[in-house]
């Protein structure tokens, strides 16, 4: 199965066009400005020295921030050429190239601060930074045709191969933070150079074999997925972003090599995540402690960590698995992430970001001393600012994996619903698919195919209970030839969803969903003490519209418990009635500090 890349799909209106416009007009510059303010841009000159402003001292992961920014800007340029953005990228690339070592090494931190210590510390993100620079190099080459950064990274890749695979002379064998593995696959797919794929295999295959510096810390092996050889891993463990980046490379190599044992490991890990360790928003990694997965069904709402990068990584993993199996579950998860756990990570105006995405914000007075709470308002930049440029690159490539194609069986899969025009090749001939829809606010979708005879397999969303036709593996299947029009109307009604009984925090509560969108209550609309609110699953919800947010809402009758002021008192059942207004979860925290709750008590 192959992927139709984002650059073959022009988004022509609706929800994602608005988001991409904000991304290219506002977010990409705002992130650059914050990276400039915080010293990340000027650090590329590698001229910081003791005595200079301490806040400008390069940090071990700054190259990865810059790299993801370059990658994002490249994707934007690909669809909307911009001299301004291109010159900003070029200036960065010039610095990177100028400071590349004779032997190919590139790293702003080590070059500036401690060149004598390169490749000694497994947890110092050098190969992680290298990986992101490789992704940036490929993206920029494909967007602009300029090879400068790609040449640098090819040279750097040679050095990495020599030091790690040939000489085994570094202080460690596999990196503490995965990323280089999937990046080397991209390098291979861009250049056709098999060495990069081999090197990716090297890093994937060596992990978990108790190699040097891999498991010195008793916590560390799980933290960096080094507890077992990757083919023997059956549960998603450790730092969630590292985990899913590793799984992405595993899925890539499974596809490229037809490696069944890797594919099986990927299937088991994906299954563990989506059936045991994922929030209803598609967020993953439930604890701030090591930013990690914890255990099956441990999904606390208030302290949910659910890093934005982890949600993105889960979608990237699902996009890759989608090419290996004929099931709609991957696209369902991608959709869940797109509209919820990912989308919550950015303000509606595109300027500020959540690193963590909690599912509940309690009233201030109920915050507890020993508990670490996530931030409740998005920020423009973080000390560890991996998420903002990850968010821009994900929005820029939102149409990636919208279509996939099995050329052998001549099937085109329609995975996501976005107002757009796509160009693809069917049986060697050009074909187009035009989607007209107001998704995710409406389930009406018109799909106009024009091209040679093929089978169109349209995903019926997992949340949809109104589609009456036949489906296979989650897809409705149609034969198309020439101009063919398909029309769908997936009924988008509010549905209460319950969690498994083992999810302690969601007991007696439901989440309200409407289509792919998870809804929530905010204090600003519903008054204080959201956790005392109860709704009835038999109620008659109505659609509303929130003017301030400019978004549709769902309103329904609800009651709020009225307690005694005492610590303990005879139960009175006293409740006050009011009309609750649910907004899309992704839009919470856009109107100042407020309580918020996804899982609402329900009758």
Write out the two tokens for 497.
């969803």
Binding mask 467-496 for a copy of itself (x = CB under 8 A): ----------------------------xx
Using CB under 8 A, pick the residue from 261, 537, 548, 579 that binds a copy of itself.
537
Q: Per CB under 8 A, which of residues 347..366 are in contact with a copy of itself?
A: 362, 365-366
Count of CB atoms within 10 A of residue 84's CB? 10
Using CB under 8 A, pick the residue from 572, 576, 579, 593 that binds a copy of itself.
572
Q: How far is the CB of 318 from a copy of itself (least distance, A)?
A: 16
Residue 573 near a copy of itself by CB under 8 A: yes
Cβ-Cβ contacts under 8 Å for 455 (sequence gap 6 or more): 409, 410, 411, 412, 477, 478, 479, 480
Q: Cα separation of 73 and 41, whole Å?
A: 15
Using CB under 8 A, pick the residue from 80, 275, 377, 489 that binds a copy of itself.
275
Binding mask 497-536 for a copy of itself (x = CB under 8 A): xxxxxxxx--xx-xx-----------------x-xx-x--
Q: Per CB under 8 A, which of residues 26..85 are in contact with a copy of itself?
A: none
Query: How many residues lie near a copy of itself (CB under 8 A)?
Result: 52
Q: How far is the CB of 344 from a copy of itself (least distance, A)?
A: 17
Per CB under 8 A, the segment of 28-36, 87-95, 270-278, 545-553 that binds a copy of itself is 270-278
Assess contact for 285 and 299: CB atoms under 8 A.
Answer: no
Residue of 506, 417, 514 whose CA lies nearest to 464: 514
Q: Cis peptide before 440, with omega less than 30 degrees from 0?
A: yes
Using CB under 8 A, pick the residue from 83, 369, 383, 468 that binds a copy of itself.
369
Q: How far is the CB of 577 from a copy of itself (least distance, A)?
A: 17
Question: DSSP class of residue 505?
Answer: G
Q: Cα separation of 479 and 61, whole Å?
A: 50
Q: Cα separation of 308 and 586, whole Å?
A: 12
Using CB under 8 A, pick the residue from 466, 564, 578, 579 that binds a copy of itself.
564
Per CB under 8 A, the segment of 225-233, 294-302, 395-403, 418-426 that binds a copy of itself is 294-302
Residue 368 near a copy of itself by CB under 8 A: yes
Q: Cα separation of 152 and 469, whole Å?
A: 53
364-400 burial, b at 16+ Cβ within 10 Å, e below that, comes to: eeeeeeeeeebebebbbbbeebbbbbbbbbbbbbbbb
Using CB under 8 A, pick the residue from 50, 83, 194, 370 that binds a copy of itself.
370
Residue 602 near a copy of itself by CB under 8 A: yes
Residue 234 near a copy of itself by CB under 8 A: no
3-state SS record for 258-283: CCHHHHHHHHHHHHHHHHHCECCCCC
Q: Cα separation of 416 and 188, whole Å?
A: 27
Write out the two tokens for 270.
């994906």
> Under the rule (CB under 8 A), what is the footprint of a copy of itself?
274-276, 278, 280, 287, 289, 294-295, 297-298, 362, 365-366, 368-370, 465, 495-504, 507-508, 510-511, 529, 531-532, 534, 537, 561, 563-573, 601-603
């Amino acid at each position: 199965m192959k992927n139709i890349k984002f650059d073959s799909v022009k988004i022509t209106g609706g929800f994602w066009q608005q988001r991409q416009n904000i991304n290219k007009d506002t977010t990409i510059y705002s992130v650059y400005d914050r990276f400039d303010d915080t010293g990340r841009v000027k650090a590329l000159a590698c001229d910081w020295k003791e005595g200079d402003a301490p806040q400008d001292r390069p940090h071990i992961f700054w190259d990865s921030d810059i790299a993801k920014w370059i990658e994002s800007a490249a994707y934007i340029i690909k669809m909307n050429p911009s001299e301004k953005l291109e010159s900003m990228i070029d200036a960065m690339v010039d610095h990177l190239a100028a400071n590349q070592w004779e032997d190919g090494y590139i790293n702003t931190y080590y070059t500036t601060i401690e060149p004598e210590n390169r490749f000694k510390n497994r947890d110092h993100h050098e190969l992680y930074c290298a990986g992101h620079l490789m992704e940036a190099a490929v993206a920029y080459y494909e967007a602009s045709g300029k090879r400068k950064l790609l040449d640098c990274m090819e040279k750097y890749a040679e050095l990495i191969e020599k030091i790690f695979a040939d000489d085994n002379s570094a202080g460690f064998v596999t990196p503490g933070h995965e990323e280089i593995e999937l990046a080397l696959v991209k390098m291979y797919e861009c250049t056709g150079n098999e060495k990069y794929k081999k090197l990716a295999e090297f890093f994937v295959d060596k992990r978990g074999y108790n190699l040097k510096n891999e498991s010195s810390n008793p916590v560390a092996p799980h933290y960096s997925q080094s507890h077992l050889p990757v083919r023997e891993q059956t549960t998603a463990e450790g730092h969630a972003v590292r985990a899913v980046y590793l799984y992405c490379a595993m899925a890539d190599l499974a596809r490229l090599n037809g490696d069944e044992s890797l594919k099986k490991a990927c299937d088991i890990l994906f299954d563990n995540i989506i059936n045991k360790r994922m929030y209803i928003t598609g967020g993953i990694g439930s604890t701030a402690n090591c930013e990690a997965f914890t255990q099956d069904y441990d999904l606390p709402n208030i302290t949910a960590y659910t890093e934005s990068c982890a949600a993105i990584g889960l979608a990237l993993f699902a996009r890759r698995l989608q090419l290996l199996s004929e099931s709609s579950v991957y696209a369902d998860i991608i959709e869940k992430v797109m509209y919820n756990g990912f989308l919550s990570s950015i303000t509606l105006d595109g300027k500020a970001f959540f690193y963590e995405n909690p599912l509940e914000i309690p009233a201030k007075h109920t915050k507890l001393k020993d508990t670490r709470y996530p931030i409740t308002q998005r920020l423009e930049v973080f000390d560890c600012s991996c998420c903002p440029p990850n968010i821009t690159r994900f929005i820029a490539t939102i149409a990636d994996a919208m279509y996939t194609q099995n050329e052998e069986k001549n099937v085109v899969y329609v995975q996501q619903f976005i107002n757009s025009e796509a160009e693809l090749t069917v049986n060697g001939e050009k074909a187009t698919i035009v989607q007209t829809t107001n998704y995710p606010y409406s389930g009406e979708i018109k799909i106009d195919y024009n091209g040679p005879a093929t089978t169109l397999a349209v995903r019926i969303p997992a949340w949809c209970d109104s589609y009456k036709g036949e489906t296979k593996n989650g897809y409705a299947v149609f034969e198309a030839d020439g101009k063919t029009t398909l029309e769908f109307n997936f009924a988008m009604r509010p549905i209460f969803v319950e969690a498994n009984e083992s999810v302690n925090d969601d007991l007696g509560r439901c989440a309200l969903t409407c289509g792919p969108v998870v809804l929530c209550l905010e204090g600003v609309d519903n008054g204080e003490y959201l956790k005392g609110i109860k709704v009835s699953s038999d109620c008659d919800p109505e659609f509303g519209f929130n003017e301030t947010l400019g978004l549709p809402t769902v309103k329904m009758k609800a009651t709020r418990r009225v307690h005694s002021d005492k610590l303990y008192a005879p139960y009175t059942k006293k409740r006050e009635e009011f009309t609750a207004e649910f907004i899309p979860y992704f839009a919470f925290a856009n109107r100042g500090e407020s309580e918020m709750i996804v899982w609402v008590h329900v009758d």
